Amino acid sequence: MMLKIEAVAAPQSRPLDREDIQSHPLFAEIERQIALHLIAIHDRTPRLSRLKASHRKWLMTHSLFALSLQRRDDDPLSGLTATRFVDTVMRLAAASRNTATAYLAELVAYKFLRDVPDVPDRRVRVLETTEAAYDAMLSWFNGHLACLDRLDGGTRQQRSLADGRIFRLAQPMIAERLSEDPLWRDPPDSIGNFLWSDYGGMVLHDLITRIEHYDPKAETTEIAPLALSTLSDKYMLSTTNLKRMFKKSEDDGLIGWQQPRRRGHMWFSRSFLHDYFQWQSAKFAAVDAAFHEASSRLDDNRWTAAPGASG
């Protein structure tokens, strides 16, 4: 459905904090909404999942986007360079120097990054995001704004769609907030064995979409029977890899099935979903705070220099 944009409303009076978000009665439903949105991005262009294959890569992706969006037309050597990116990754302790360098090369090969033309110093390789990568991150941003709007009746998504500068200004703020938030940067062990694995985040999104009824006070939450082969086929993961993701959570009593050999209805423990939703609330709070700050700067004309082209 096309969104009809008329007058752009003023931003909400204040951003929602993580307590507001996680305690909201609609939070479980917007978690399902954003999970479906992110899976739809994956289904349209599966290769884009390389940008967020694991939590480590997602941290690196936000960092490289921020560097790319901070490029200035009046400084041809600004923006995303291998040196700046590796320095950022090392500061975050997100990966080794070799892993960071290899990740940049991977994204260039997949055509998610490209060289900025006509850089005056040939010793410096300046990169920028391609249209495909830029559009995917923009969709990620607007998808989260739409969810936040459901919590308080706001018009964040409408405002963002009407003014693309909001995303370009907000995304580096989101990257900084998330990288400095210990809860987001280092997810709880209960969900970490998924998130640190390749495509484990997509698996968690898929599981959340299958929750039809959620009671935060219930000891367990059930979903319909689910075979690991279903997830394996959808996300092109080996069954061995999937079993490894699930095993620790099963051994710890965080998830399971009603019957032996992973048969019958699947269930999640209250602590497992609490940890996941709390972790997600940190992300939503960072997005909302960045949206408000970006909107405020634009309204006050405090952002006078536009970044260079980035898709």
Residue 258: strand, helix, or coil:
strand
> Given this model, what pLDDT does residue 163 score?
96
Residue 125 domain boundaries: 23-186+282-299
Can you give the pLDDT at residue 252? 95
In 3D, which of 27, 59, 53, 26 has the Cα closest to residue 277?
27
Q: What are the C-alpha distances in Å from 170 to residues 64, 208, 291, 296?
A: 14, 27, 6, 11
pLDDT band at 7 (very low <50, low <70, confident <90, very high): very low
The burial class, CB within 10 Å (0-12 / 13-18 / 19+), for 36 is: middle
- Residues whose CB is less than 8 angstroms from the CB of residue 239 and which lie 6 or more positions away in sequence, other chains included: 228, 229, 232
Instruction: Look at 72 and 190; give whichever has higher pLDDT.
Output: 190
8 domain residue, yes or no: no
Q: What is the pLDDT of residue 48?
A: 81
Instruction: Give domain status of residue 261, yes or no.
Output: yes
Give the whole-angstrom CA distance, residue 252 versus residue 265. 18
273 pLDDT more than 70: yes
Report helix, strand and coil shares of the chain as percent, to nearest 5. 60, 10, 30
Mapped onto helix, strand or coil, the DSSP state of residue 80 is strand
Tell me the CB-side half-sphere exposure of residue 144, using CA atoms within 13 A: 23
Comparison of pLDDT for 115 and 51, the residue scoring more: 115
Compute the distance between CA of residue 9 and CA of residue 149 in angstroms, rounded to an integer: 13
Is-contact 113 67, C-beta < 8 A?
no
Over residues 125-154, the mean pLDDT reads: 96
| Chain center to CA of 310 | 19
pLDDT at 304 over 70: no
Count of the separate structural domains present in the chain: 2
Residues 142 and 287 both lie in one domain: yes
% the chain with pLDDT above 90: 75
Tell me what pLDDT residue 109 has: 93
For residues 148 and 207, membership in a common domain is answered with: no
Rounded Cα gap, residues 86 and 72, in angstroms: 20
Angle at 274 between CA 273 and CA 280, to 5 degrees: 85
Mean pLDDT of 64-88: 90
46 falls in which pLDDT band (50, 70, 90)? confident
Question: Cα separation of 16 and 283, whole Å?
Answer: 11
Q: Which phi and psi (to 5°) does residue 194 adopt?
A: -80, -50
* Residue 230 and residue 162 share a domain: no
> Which of 5-14, 42-51, 69-78, 85-94 shows the lowest mean pLDDT across its residues?
5-14
- Rounded Cα distance between 34 and 39, Å, is 8
Q: Give me the pLDDT at residue 12, please.
A: 56
* Whole-number pLDDT of residue 302: 64
Q: Are residues 85 and 194 in the same domain?
A: no
Task: Report the distance separating Cα 70 and Cα 87, nearest Å.
Answer: 16
Tens-digit pLDDT profile for residues 196-251: 998 899 999 999 999 999 999 999 999 999 999 999 999 888 989 899 999 999 99
Q: Is the domain of 247 the same as that of 293?
A: no
Same domain for 173 and 249, yes or no, is: no
| pLDDT of 307 over the 50 cut | no
pLDDT for residue 260 is more than 70: yes
Q: Looking at the predicted structure, is the pLDDT value of residue 57 above 80?
A: yes
**Rounded average pLDDT over 42-65:** 88
Averaged confidence pLDDT in the chain: 89
Write the CB contacts of 261 (distance below 8 Å, at least 6 apart in sequence).
none
Question: For the domain that residue 233 is a member of, what is the CATH number?
Answer: 1.10.10
Give residue-wise pLDDT tens across range 111-136. 999 999 888 877 888 899 999 999 99
What mean pLDDT is predicted for residues 55-72?
A: 93
Q: In the prediction, which pLDDT does 1 show?
A: 33
Cα separation, 66 vs 176, in Å, equals 8
Give the 3-state secondary structure of residue 205: helix
For 9-41, what is each residue's pLDDT tens digit?
444 568 999 999 999 999 999 999 999 999 999
Whether residue 123 is contained in a domain is answered as yes
Instruction: Say whether pLDDT at 272 is over 70.
Output: yes
Do 125 and 115 contact (CB within 8 A), yes or no? yes
Instruction: Answer yes or no: is 13 within a domain.
Output: no
70: exposed, middle or buried (Cβ count in 10 Å: 0-12, 13-18, 19+): buried
pLDDT at 8 (0 to 100):
40
Angle at 56 between CA 53 and CA 57, to 5 degrees: 45
Residue 76 pLDDT grade (very low, low, confident, very high; cuts 50, 70, 90):
confident
Residues 193, 78 share a domain: no
> Is pLDDT above 50 for 84?
yes
- 62/194 same-domain check: no
